[in-house]
Structure 1
């Protein structure tokens, strides 16, 4: 066997978007976390998504970015400290992100 035959991974079909979305929803974060906990977690997933993308691991990047987006678009605005932890400008920026996201749904 040639070197290429040994070094190639077995081919598998790419995951469906719906399968990736299910994976993105499988989390173990504390639903009662502080606002800052959610901000840190969103940043962690964003960073993991970028790193996975840079490694060309697109499915892992999608899952990480989806988790980050879920926190920013769903968890943060519903958090009890949303109105006290952010300035008006910061809340406006988050609402703009949310508005942009509606165009992609």
Structure 2
């Protein structure tokens, strides 16, 4: 979160906290596993699963939440300041 509005893309591996590839000022909250970073989809074998990515336009330049914030706290803060949203859906299976 806190990705500057002028950033149009993220490099491959930007979600890896060891690589420091996030734009200046951007932060990662903790995942459901309690750590920062991106784990990617891991559906059970069988039919493909749907994965949704939602992006938000905010009425504030920066969320005032701690760097170690939980996903729930970040989501609450985002929704409080949302101007607009867009959602993408993709499928992935193994």
Same fold (TM over 0.5): no
Q: TM-score, normalised by structure 2?
A: 0.29
TM-score (norm 1): 0.27
Structure with higher strand content = 2
Q: Which has the higher contact order (CA 8 A, sep 6+)?
A: 2
